[in-house]
Structure formats: structure tokens, C-alpha cells
Structure 1
Amino acid sequence: MKKITVLLLLAALLMTAGCGAKQPAETPATPSPDVSVPETEAPVATPEATPEPTPEPVPDCVDAVVQVDRSPAILTLLKRGDQVDVVGEYDDEHYVIKTELGYGLMEKQLLRISGEAPYASWTGYAYGGAGFYDNYQLRGTPAATLTLNTECEVLDELDDCYVVKVGEDIGFVAKVQISKNYIVYTGGGGGAGTGADGGDISLSFGGIQRLSYVAQSGDVTGTATVLADGAPVVLGYLDRDEVIPVVAEEGFAPEWDGYCTLYLDGLYAYVPAEFVLQDGDEAYEVWSGYAVYGARVYDNYLLRDAGKTVNLNTLVAVLWDCGDFYVVSVNDEICYMATSAVSKTLIATGGGGGGGGGGDTDWTPPAL
């Protein structure tokens, strides 16, 4: 019994010792060092680089040589009734106008400025054989030849011709070929006169002043109406012997039948192919001809104005052939003559007088 009591006491002591043992002190957590968080700055927008404009492709070009003074480099052709923006006067003969393709020159005679009174149309009568042309320059073969007293509704007046309507067709007839009165012949010669012969006078032309390419800028100051079909907007006029760049590749600009395409100062323009010696063409063979009776020479290829009369059989050096006119040298001056005014052979002056032949007149000298 005594043993049991001792054992119980020992057990109690052991239990007391176990319960009273100190628990190991908890190690305090090491405080985390302060973390410095940088302030977030608003991102600065980097300006996008402006892309460089893609340069327009430049066509391959070949050189050509202008043969006719004041050859027009045409930007576009306008129709009768088109409305255009006018920038202002360029000189006595031209306005500067603005089109979708750029700025150019147009002859004043081809425009009616807004606010001007419209032309009062009237009925005229054609002289027999009058040419009815499809162009206001009256170049080339007429579209039709009018019979005597053909009625013409005169719609507008240009410098050298009328804009007329014959039937349903609109065209151009020289002023001297239209009468305001019904024509009745009472005998003698007929037909419209072309002015009196001015007599034999020496040549004395002023120099031709080149018009530079039109600046591609300017404020619009008004509007105008185009009076004639085929009215050219001209980028500039070209001098004889000027070297010009003719486009040699396809696909850069529309092609015009009968014209060379030019690349001038970043713009495309057109010049009549017959006015230039193109790359690969043979040089024109100059030949000598003779002025027919009453022949006139002009300082412009349109043969406008009165011209100057030259003597029968005046020696003419033919430098270039454009079909309806020649570029010629007379007394060492460059001028222009109708092809019908130059004979390839000397014209007989004996006998009953004179009428000279056309460009292919043949003459056999009399036997001595």
C-alpha cells in the first residue's frame, strides 16, 4: 500500500513538471523594410512620325525638238458650256483659269465672264463653198462644205470665226464666209472677199515672246463659261528648237490621238505630234519653193491677222510641213505660209497673167 502511494506521488510530480515547462518564446517577426513604391507618371505620348509622302513615279522620257513657235502644251480640252474658275488676266489675250488638273491659260475669246451679257444669236447665210470646221482654229479639212445661202444660226462670235449651228451640228465658219443677208448675185464674181492685197512689202516681224509655264497657284476671283468645243487650257507655249521631254512609257497619262504626251514640272501636257521632231525621226529635208501670186506670210502658224504679201516667185525655204501650213524662211526670217501659197517650181510670168498654183504646182519652162 505504501508502495502504491509512492508511485502515485511520483506520477503526480512528473505531470506537474511537464505542464509547467516554459514554452519557447516566440521570435517576434522581423518587420519588413519599407518598400519605396515609385510614383507612376502618366506616359508621355510620343508623336507619331509623319510618313514621308510617296513620291509620284516619274516616267521615262525622250527628247523631242519643237518645230513650230508658240506650240501649245495643252493641259486639257474643255467643251462649250463648261464652267471654269478664273484667277485673273495673264496678258491681253489670256486669262489664267483653274481646273481639276491644274492652272492654265485660256484665250479670252473662248470665255464669257460671269455677268457679261450673252451673245444675241442671229441667222446668217453661207457663201458658196464656205468651210464648216470642227475646230475654232479652222485648221485641217472642213467637216463639210456649205452651199450658197445655207442657213446658219450664229451662236457666238470669236476673233476670226463664228460658232454656228447648221441643222443639228455645231461648228465654226470664218466670218468672211457668213452674210447677215440672203445672198443674191447680180453678175460678176462671187464669193466672199478676203481683203484687199496689201501690196508687196518687206517682212518685219517682232520677236515672239515665250510664255513660261503657268504657276500652279492663285486665288479664284470669278467664273466664266466656255464658248467653244475643244477649247485648250494651255500650260505654256513652246519655242521653235526647244527640247522637250516626251513620255516614252505607257500607263502614266491618257494618250491623245495625234498628240505627244509631255512631262513638265510634274504635270502632263500634250502638244500636236506634227509640231515636233520626235526621237528616232529623220530630220526634215529642207527644200526651196516659190511664192505664188498673192502669197502672204504670217508670224503665227494659225495664219491669223492680215499677214504680209510677198512678190511672185519669192524664194521660200521650206523648213517643216504641218499639212495645211509650212514653216518657212523668207529673207532669213522664220514665218508661216499656207501650203497652197508655195509652189515647188518657178511660176511662169509671161503671157496673160497670173494665178499661182498650190503646193504641188508643176511648170515646164518654154523652149527657147
Structure 2
Amino acid sequence: MRAEGGFARQLARSDLVLIAAALIASGLGAVLVHSATSADSGSAYLVRHLLNLGIGLLLALLVVRLDRSVLRTLAPFVYLAGVLGLGLVLTPLGSEINGSRSWIQLPGGFSVQPSELAKVGLCVALPMLLAPAAERRQRPRAREILLAGAVTGVPVLLVMAQPDLGSALVLVALALGVLVVSGAAWPWLAGVLLAGVAAVTAAFTTPLLSPYQRDRLTAFLDPAADPLGIGYQTQQVRRAIAGGGWGGQGLHTGDLTSSGAIPFQETDFVFSAAGEELGFVGAAFVVLLLGLLVGRIALAGTRTEDPFVRLVCWAVAAWFAVQSVENIGMNLGLLPVTGLPLPFLSYGGSSMFACWAGVGIVIAVARPPGRVRA
């Protein structure tokens, strides 16, 4: 049994670039959240963001102490916990915010969003199912792919029932990324793509989405259609980013950000705070930082000979990449608003906990095998 010093040495040999990128992103997020909320709430959101960051770091440290064999064993339980949470959200325990029943309120004013835990669960459950084929040096069999599809479909359907189209798309993209890396034949990949397209089409053509979410899609197609509602919000976001110019207006001095003129800027639209106050240079830094983070995780997947490790790393990389693209795209007006937070930067405990758990899982599985517990 190794001492704490052994664990510290193992952690020091982890990907320090990945850890630094996640820490810098989380710290920058704290600064931007404070800028977006200080006019109305003082330092309250900053304190909570830092508290969420502290809990996320603690969670990551706990996960890092597990080796890959333990994580593989725990994968079904993490997945089932996420599914259970998604089921509870649809009961009277769930609460509705902005047209989506996605949260469970806890004592003390806290809340959890089970869809974030579902992302973590899928990142370990799918590799657990598909890694054995690669270990046999074969493509996944039809039975394994169908089982992986069912494992993906359950949380996707539960998330769509909330409804939360953004999280459902992330889960589908995550699953598609794992299938691609697993070596699944192209007809199966095409089937997953068609299923995703069918789900999106159904969301747009049926009463599945709430009126609030439909207004978001309408505002994307025509920002002037709802000038006092979501259309106002998206127009203000674009104004803030355009007003930042090259160098930005300065922290806490952005005209729209510092005045609190953009609703939910600390969550969905924190990127607009970077655009207005840090300018093109600062916004580009955020994009490059998240790109570095995703790239280091994917690199860890390419450096290993263990199929389970490879699939886990690419699952987390796909999750962070797709969610970042969607959030930044909706801030720039290139994609519809779906309510997805920007990984590590947006305010929100569930997102912060899940993102740091994802980093912890990557470090734990990519570390050379060995006992690290005290």
C-alpha cells in the first residue's frame, strides 16, 4: 500500500498542461461571472462560483485516486445514478426553469442538474461496453453496438422529455464519437446520425419543446421576431461581443456586462462577457484555451494501448468539444440558443462538478497502472 507521497508523485506525473488549462478556464470564468453579476448581486455569484470550483476540484481529486480497473467496475453504477437522476427530474421532485424541467432543488437554495451526471456516466459506460471488441482486435459486434445504442437512448429520451435539446445533442455526439473511435462500421455510424437528425426533426415539428424553447429557435431565425423577449437577449449578446473590439472595454467596465443588461449572462452567455470586456483577443484566448483542453484529452487517448482508456478519453473530448462549440456558436448567433453552459467558465454547480469529474476520470485512466491509494 503506497503512502500519500506516492499518490502525490503519481499526480505530478499527470498531464499538467490539461490541469493548468482547466484551472485557468475555471479562474477566468470566476472573473467573468463576477463582471456579469456584480451590478445586481455584488460578490454573491463569485463566492458561489469559487465554492463550486472548490467542490469540483475535491471531486476530481477523489476520482484521480481510483485506477482504471476500479473506474471500469464502477461504470454501470455511475451510469445508473445518472439515469435515476433523470427519472427523478420528471417527478414532482423536479423543478422547471425556462421551460425545461431539468433541476432538482436541494435544501439551502442549491440545485442539481442530473443531465450533467448523465454525461459523466455515458463517458464510462460506453467504453466499458465497446472496449472488449478492441481488446479482441475486432470491430464491435452488432449486439455490442445495439446495447451501446440502448444505453445511449435511455438518457437521451429522458433528457428530451424534460425537454433539453442541447444536452440530448451532446449525449448523441458523445456516443457517436465513441463509436467512431471504437472502429464501428460506417452503416452503424450512419444510423446514429440518422437517429440524431430524426430526434431533432421531431423536436422541431412536434409539441415536444416548450413555448420558451420554441421562442429561442424563432429568435435564432429572426432576432427581431421577439424584441422584448429572447430576441432582445440574443441581440444584446451580439452587441456586447461586437462592442468589445480588438482589446475589449476592460474588466468590470463593459457597457452591457457591467450594467447587468444581458439576462442569464453568467450561465448561457458568459462568452459574451469575455467578448465585450476582453475583446477579440480575450475571446480568442477562451477558444484556444478550451481547444487546448480538448486537444490534451484527445492526445491522452491516442497515446495509450488500452482500448478502455482510449474510448474514455475520446468520450470526454467529444463532450467538451461539442458543448463548447454549441455555447460559443449560440453566443455568436451562429447556432440556436439551447441553454448549454460553457465548460468550466459558466456559472453552475452541476456543470462545474461534471467537468472536473471528467478531467479527473481522464487523469485516472491515462495514468500508468498502479496502486495509488493510501
Q: TM-score range by the shorter chain?
A: under 0.3
Q: If the length of structure 2 is used for normalisation, what is the TM-score? A: 0.24
Q: If the length of structure 1 is used for normalisation, what is the TM-score? A: 0.24
Compare the two structures and name the one with the higher strand fraction: 1
Instruction: Point out the structure with max Rg over C-alpha.
Output: 1
Which structure is higher in RCO with an 8 Å CA cutoff and minimum separation 6? 2
Compare the two structures and name the one with the higher helix fraction: 2
